[in-house]
Amino acid sequence: MSANSERNPLRFGPFEVTSQVFYTTPHSFALVNLKPLLPGHVLVCPQKPHKRLTDLSAPELTDLMQAVQRVQHMLARHYFTGSASPSPPRTDGNGEEAKEDGGHPGDGSFNIAIQDGAEAGQTVPHLHVHVIPRIRGATAKSGDGPDDKIYEMMADENGNVGGALWDREHKAGGSRPRPGGGFPRIEDADRQARSMREMEEEATMFRDVLGSLDREGF
């Protein structure tokens, strides 16, 4: 750890994560995951320990999403190499890392997710954006169907690191954080397309609510 990081330790919720951080910006940082759901699953957080997305100022929000984009470029460069298994960075003839090697974001896909609040599955009370590369031929969603286990994994015990840490550190007392945030299972066949009228009514209602917020100065 550098002298600077000892002076300015970075915290993710209650955890000191300075040595896991690989990217910092004026308002954000990105860290490797304690328990990644897939290879390359990382987190991007605001430097201030805001809990909820609505707590961020406009500059913090812009900075956070720009950091997410930068991290996507980095992950694409490393993981979207055209081979099913990610390879270590290649070098040119001089042993230097080849700059143009590796992929671009369009060479694969990403899940970008925020569990904004405990009832949505948030287990660490410090806002974080999950960035999960989906590597073609390796960790990409299979087939054209709607099924993708990643959301269930994020919400179930796989993603309940709060629970795993509680097991390790607080065996006595308190209550174990529970996984949460799974979507109710809805069969695709039961989903009816809505009529234009229904959708327009809802759009009108949301415009009215936004109008009230504007009038109240929110």
Q: How far is the CB of 111 from ligand AMP (least distance, A)?
A: 12
User: Does 112 contact ligand AMP by CB under 6 A?
Assistant: no
Half-sphere exposure of 160 (CA within 13 A, CB side): 18
What is the DSSP track for 67-136?
HHHHHHHHHHHHH-SSSSS--PPPB-TTSPBPTT-S--GGGSEEEEE---SGGGT--SSS--EEEEEE-T
- 41, 128, 130, 170: which one is catalytic? 128
In this chain, which of 5, 11, 15, 182 binds ligand AMP, going by CB under 6 A?
Answer: 15
Are 151 and 161 contacting, i.e. CB atoms less than 8 angstroms apart?
no
Q: Helices then strands (H, E): number in the chain?
A: 5, 7
User: Does 81 contact ligand AMP by CB under 6 A?
Assistant: no
User: Does 122 contact ligand AMP by CB under 6 A?
Assistant: yes
Instruction: Name 176's Cβ contacts closer than 8 Å, sequence gap at least 6.
Output: 163, 166, 167
Instruction: Using the minimum distance from each CB to ligand AMP, give the nearer residue, 37 or 101.
Output: 37
User: Does 35 contact ligand AMP by CB under 6 A?
Assistant: yes
Q: How far is the CB of 211 from ligand AMP (least distance, A)?
A: 33
Number of residues near ligand AMP (by CB under 6 A): 16
- Mind telling me the catalytic residues? 128
> What is the binding site for ligand AMP (CB under 6 A)?
12, 15, 17, 20, 31, 33-35, 43, 115, 121-124, 159, 161
